[in-house]
């Protein structure tokens, strides 16, 4: 049995109960009666029975049709390269003894896009490194488990306004306009394939299997200790961009009650999960966000006997789904979001507004796309427990985990933590040697009484180009050459930095890097000599014969 009450009771996987579930005006899923042991019924939530998996894109055209589509893609690739203006020459003044102008850590969507933009600015000697193997950079083929992206299919990506490089151009070339129009959102694996094509067409090279181990300052230059194939080497750079995703600023957020258990009985959604071992097993999931439902669905699709999802709150907020019974009242929005391009301007807000926006985000219930809920709801052995926090977890003699939640006892074969990420630079290995000099929000901003937040206090207080700022009195000015384009920038910039929407803030990063390199390379003496040099004698030969001479009359 996976659950035990005070009275003996059988707990075999059951059919969905008839208790109605409800979706309220704001898209919250409610109905504790339906979300207990008997399973989660979809009687009122779905007009049709839920499919066992979310809708997938049309299969690739077979045979000759597929070959023709690939030929068209080759033609699009050729045209995209032809339409791109020639890359400007590298104008950055070389510096003796420095290997690179810029090193970007992370070869996923952010790293590829930033590298491309720097090259378009004429910044040469840009190196991109990623510890993953080729084809595994980023999350899309590894730890992302959704069928579709969370963002709209028309949202700008790394192409930054160049339609020839867009996902839409790539997808329609392979599948046709009707296929794109039929998409709800972008399929995850299609996005991964598109990023491969974007890297190919832009000619961005990535050194895979290369990990940044340590950052060592040397004046205003950074010595990077890199490891590849078990060997270490040191390379120098003038600028460093950390585009290493959500896990690049502290790692997964693991509750202490899970840390106390052996690592063999639990995993976090940020890493590999042994779904292949879960057939017939009882799986518990801690958390109720999108990643929790995606992990639940994969476990169920892998044959898990039961999956129990524990939500400490009383509701689940859904994105999309069936229309509400009555029009929803407009939600109260933060004051800064009245402007359509607020993503680009959030950094400019006063500290107090940015801090309060962060607090709003922390208090808000994490929303779940309707198709993610639908995917898990297709299984009768999926159970959601509201107002339920796991406690008293202990390893039993048979290797299972005993625990309690909502006044009931449970036994699990495996636990999955879908508890997000933490921001703690001291826990990030490559930053460990310099983190004590980095200004945090607790160093620059003192919230009002009642607005304190320990997690927010640990966020770095970033400059306008995502650069680390030195703590007052530290003298660590080299930190301004490290640009943190990952989740650690969420509080300073008001968005999950590294997500697709954050691409709108990349130009400010690229502009600042180019500006800093330009200013640092200016030879003031050469400029003064040029400005003060005698003016050259004008050469009039090309127009002498047209110059009117005295005494000639004009008819």
Output DSSP code: residue 325. Answer: S
Contacts of 173 (CB under 8 A, 6+ apart): 69, 72, 73, 76
Highest mean pLDDT pick, 15-29, 333-347, 415-429: 415-429
* 119 and 225 both lie in a single domain: yes
Task: State whether 301 and 429 are in the same domain.
Answer: no
**Residues 240 and 267 grouped into a single domain:** no
Q: Is 60 exceeded by the pLDDT of residue 448?
A: yes
Total domain count for the chain? 2
Termini Cα distance of the chain: 113
User: Is residue 443 located within the same domain as residue 493?
Assistant: yes
Per residue in 236-247, pLDDT (tens digit) is 999 999 999 988
Lowest mean pLDDT among 315-324, 451-460, 475-484, 523-532: 315-324
User: Each residue of 157-172: b (16+ CB within 10 Å) or e?
Assistant: bbbbeeebbbbbbbbb
Task: Tell me whether residue 480 is in a domain.
Answer: yes
The answer to whether residue 328 sits within a structural domain is yes
In this prediction, what percent of the chain has a pLDDT beyond 90?
63
Residue 2 lies in a domain: no
Task: Specify the pairing of strand 206-208 against strand 126-130.
Answer: parallel
Q: Is residue 164 part of a domain?
A: no
Q: What is the enclosing helix (H) or strand (E) of 375?
A: helix 370-377
Has residue 402 been placed in a domain?
Answer: yes
Tokens representing residue 258 in the block: 């899970």
The C-alpha atoms of residue 313 and residue 287 are separated, in whole angstroms, by 10
pLDDT at position 120 is 92
Which tokens sit at 135?
């084809």
Q: What is the extent of the structural domain holding 396? A: 15-49+253-417
Contact 377, 50 (CB under 8 A): yes
- Collapsing DSSP states into helix, strand and coil, what is residue 310? strand
Residue 445 lies in a domain: yes
Residues 224 and 272 in one domain: no
Of 19-28, 200-209, 346-355, 394-403, give the lowest mean pLDDT range.
19-28
232 and 357 assigned to the same domain: no
CATH number at residue 350: 3.50.50.60
Helix (H, G, I), strand (E, B) or coil at 531: helix
User: Of 373, 402, 417, at which residue does a domain stop?
Assistant: 417
Same domain, 406 and 259: yes
Who wins on pLDDT, 324 or 205?
205
Residues 473, 485, single domain; the answer is: yes
Q: Is there a domain that residue 162 lies in?
A: no
Whether 229 and 305 map to the same domain: the answer is no
- Summarize pLDDT for 490-536 with one digit per residue, the tens: 999 998 898 888 998 999 999 999 999 999 987 777 777 878 889 88
- Count Cβ atoms below 10 Å from residue 523 Cβ, excluding itself: 10
CB atoms within 10 A of CB 552: 6
Question: Are 224 and 120 members of one domain?
Answer: yes
Whether residues 107 and 213 share a domain: the answer is yes
Domain limit, last residue, from 388, 417, 446: 417
Query: Does the CA dihedral 252-257-261-265 come out positive or negative?
Result: negative
Q: Is residue 6 part of a domain?
A: no
Q: What is the three-class DSSP state of 232?
A: strand
**DSSP string over 452-512:** --HHHHTSB---TTSB--BPTT---GGGGGEEE-SGGGHHHHSS-BTBGGGGGGHHHHHHH
pTM of the model: 0.82
Please check whether residues 291 and 232 belong to one and the same domain. no
Considering 395, 417, 439, which residue would you say is the last residue of a domain?
Answer: 417
Which of 62-66, 174-178, 550-554: highest mean pLDDT?
174-178
Q: What pLDDT, on the 0 to 100 scale, is given for residue 60?
A: 52
- The DSSP code for 417 is E
């Amino acid at each position: 049995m996976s659950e035990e009450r005070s009275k003996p009771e059988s707990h075999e996987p059951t059919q969905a109960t008839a208790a109605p579930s409800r979706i309220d005006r704001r898209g919250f899923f409610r109905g504790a009666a339906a979300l207990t042991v008997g399973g989660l019924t979809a009687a009122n939530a779905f007009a049709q029975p839920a499919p066992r998996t979310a809708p997938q894109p049309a299969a690739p055209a077979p045979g000759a049709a597929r070959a023709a589509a690939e030929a068209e893609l080759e033609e699009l690739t050729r045209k995209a390269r032809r339409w791109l203006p020639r890359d400007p020459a590298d104008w950055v003044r070389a510096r003796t003894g420095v290997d690179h102008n810029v090193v970007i850590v992370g070869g996923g969507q952010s790293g590829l896009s930033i590298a491309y933009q720097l090259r378009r600015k004429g910044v040469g000697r840009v190196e991109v490194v990623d510890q993953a193997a080729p084809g595994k950079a980023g999350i899309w083929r590894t730890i992302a488990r959704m069928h579709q992206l969370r963002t709209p299919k028309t949202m700008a990506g790394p192409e930054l306004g160049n339609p020839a490089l867009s996902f839409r151009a790539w997808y329609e070339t392979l599948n046709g306009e009707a296929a794109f129009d039929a998409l709800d959102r972008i399929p995850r694996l299609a996005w991964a394939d598109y990023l491969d094509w974007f890297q190919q067409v832009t000619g961005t090279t990535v050194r895979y299997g290369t990990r940044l181990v340590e950052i060592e300052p040397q004046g205003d230059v950074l010595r990077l200790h890199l490891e590849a194939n078990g060997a270490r080497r040191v390379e120098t750079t003038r600028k460093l961009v950390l585009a290493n995703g959500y896990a690049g600023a502290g790692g997964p957020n693991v509750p202490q009650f899970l840390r106390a258990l052996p690592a063999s009985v639990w995993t976090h959604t940020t890493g590999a999960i042994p779904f292949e071992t879960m057939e017939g097993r009882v799986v518990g999931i801690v958390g109720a966000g999108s990643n929790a439902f995606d992990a639940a669905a994969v476990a169920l699709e892998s044959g898990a006997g039961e999956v129990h999802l524990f939500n400490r709150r009383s509701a689940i907020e859904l994105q999309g789904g069936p229309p509400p019974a009555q029009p929803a009242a407009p939600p109260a929005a933060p004051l800064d979001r009245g402007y359509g391009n607020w993503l680009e301007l959030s950094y400019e807000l006063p500290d107090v507004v940015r801090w309060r926006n962060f607090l709003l985000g922390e208090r808000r219930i994490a929303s779940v796309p309707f198709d993610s809920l639908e995917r898990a709801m297709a299984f009768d052995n999926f159970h959601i427990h509201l107002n339920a926090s796991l406690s008293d977890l202990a390893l039993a003699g048979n290797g299972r985990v005993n625990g309690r939640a909502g006044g009931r006892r449970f036994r699990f074969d495996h636990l999955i933590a879908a508890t997000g990420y933490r921001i703690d630079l001291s826990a990030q290995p490559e930053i460990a040697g310099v983190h004590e000099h980095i200004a945090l929000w607790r160093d620059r901003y003192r919230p009002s009484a009642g607005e304190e937040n320990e997690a927010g206090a640990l966020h770095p207080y970033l400059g306008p180009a995502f650069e680390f700022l030195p703590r007052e009195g530290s003298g660590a000015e080299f930190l301004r050459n490290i640009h943190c384009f990952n989740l650690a920038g969420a509080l300073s910039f008001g968005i999950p930095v590294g997500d697709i929407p954050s691409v709108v803030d990349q130009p400010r990063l690229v502009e600042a890097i180019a500006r800093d390199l330009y200013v640092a390379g200016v030879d003031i003496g050469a400029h003064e000599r040029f400005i003060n040099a005698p003016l050259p004698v004008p050469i009039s030969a090309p127009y002498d014969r047209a110059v009117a001479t005295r005494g000639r009359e004009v008819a």
